[in-house]
Amino acid sequence: MLEVSKVRKSFGKTEVVKGVTFSVERGEAFGLLGPNGAGKSTTISMICGLLPFNEGDITVDGYSVKNNPMEIKKRIGVVPQDIALYPTMSAMDNLLFWGKMYGLSRKNALNRAYEVLDIVGLRDRAKDKIETFSGGMKRRINIGAALMHRPQILIMDEPTVGIDPQSRNHILETVKQLNKEGMTIIYTSHYMEEVEFLCERIGIIDHGEVIAVGTKEDLINRLSGGTVIKMEIGHYNKSLVEELNTLPFVEKIVTKDDERELEIFVNSSHQALGELVSTAVKNNVEVSTIQVQEPNLETLFLQLTGRSLRD
């Protein structure tokens, strides 16, 4: 359905997308997980034909973005990262407008607008102006506008940024449902939980490169048995961290939260707990909590990059 191959993009001298390659099958939900500035939005803009790129190719249904952008645009619905609606127009008028821009007739647009309002759960606010909506409601209409023409692929760029948990859940459930009904989904986020909840396959992107692709299980198996142990200590002690680093099973240590929380990467957690605590005690550092984290994508990201998805 969608093929992105070896795409490169530079802004001036800085290359922000460095040979990104991935593909998405029909009916699949694909997640693009990456921290701020990883190149997610840039990649999406290129898929939608908004941004020319330097190298590589992108095809949808066999059509290349370079030669047949219109064919691709018809098949895609994009939910931009920012709210792209007209604030002084009503929700209904916005939906009608975007529907018509996708080529729907007036009548079809009207019928579809009601369906879409039902999907996003805002039918009772149809006549209200967008500017009177809460952040979460705006986001929902922002998604609705991309659904008007029943796209084959729905591309969503961080659609849940900055909204309340209730709206967020509503959005996630909606997307899950759309996917169940057969819509291909591409979902970018820096929230691991969202991507894990929605997507069968996930690409992890950092600094303009896809550093891992696969199903959630594939990716976690790649963790080479690694686990993260979270240890909260009474005070930061440099020699403790240095000594912990010399332990054979420790791979990486990330300090967080005014340096009183250590995320310690270990390749096996069997004897680790005991040794970690005793090393701390030896250095006269008090351990307030210690906890083994289930391996997840966050752990993988940490292992691959040495950084966490969000700071």
Which positions touch another protein (CB under 8 A)?
A: 45, 48-50, 70, 73-74, 76, 78, 80, 82-89, 93, 97-98, 100-103, 145
Rounded to a whole number of angstroms, the minimum distance from the CB of residue 42 to ligand ATP is 3
Contact call for residues 143 and 120 (beta carbons, < 8 A) = yes
The residue number whose beta carbon is nearest to Mg ion equals 41
Binding mask 49-88 for Mg ion (x = CB under 5 A): --------------------------------x-------
Nearest partner of 214 among 61, 22, 37, judged by Cα: 22
What is the spatial distance between Cα 247 and Cα 42, in angstroms, rounded to a whole number? 41
Q: Provide the pairing of β-strand 29-33 with 184-189.
A: parallel
Contact call for residues 78 and 44 (beta carbons, < 8 A) = yes
Which residue, 144 or 159, is less far from ligand ATP as judged by CB?
159
What is the spatial distance between Cα 264 and Cα 243, in angstroms, rounded to a whole number? 12
Q: How many Cα atoms within 13 Å fall on the side-chain side of residue 35?
A: 14
Hey, what are 213's tokens?
């692709």
Rounded to a whole number of angstroms, the minimum distance from the CB of residue 71 to another protein is 8
Contact call for residues 214 and 300 (beta carbons, < 8 A) = no
Binding site for ligand ATP (CB under 6 A): 11, 16, 34, 36-42, 81, 158, 190
Q: Does 41 bind Mg ion (CB under 5 A)?
A: yes
Residues 6+ apart with CB under 8 A from 264: 228, 229, 230, 231, 244, 250, 252, 253, 272, 276
Q: Does 207 bind Mg ion (CB under 5 A)?
A: no
- 295 binding partner (options another protein, Mg ion, ligand ATP, none; Cβ < 5 to 8 Å by kind): none
- 145 binding partner (options ligand ATP, Mg ion, another protein, none; Cβ < 5 to 8 Å by kind): another protein
Stretch that binds Mg ion, among 32-40, 87-95, 219-227, 282-290 (CB under 5 A): 32-40
- 25 binding partner (options Mg ion, ligand ATP, another protein, none; Cβ < 5 to 8 Å by kind): none
Binding residues for Mg ion, rule: CB under 5 A, are 40-41, 81
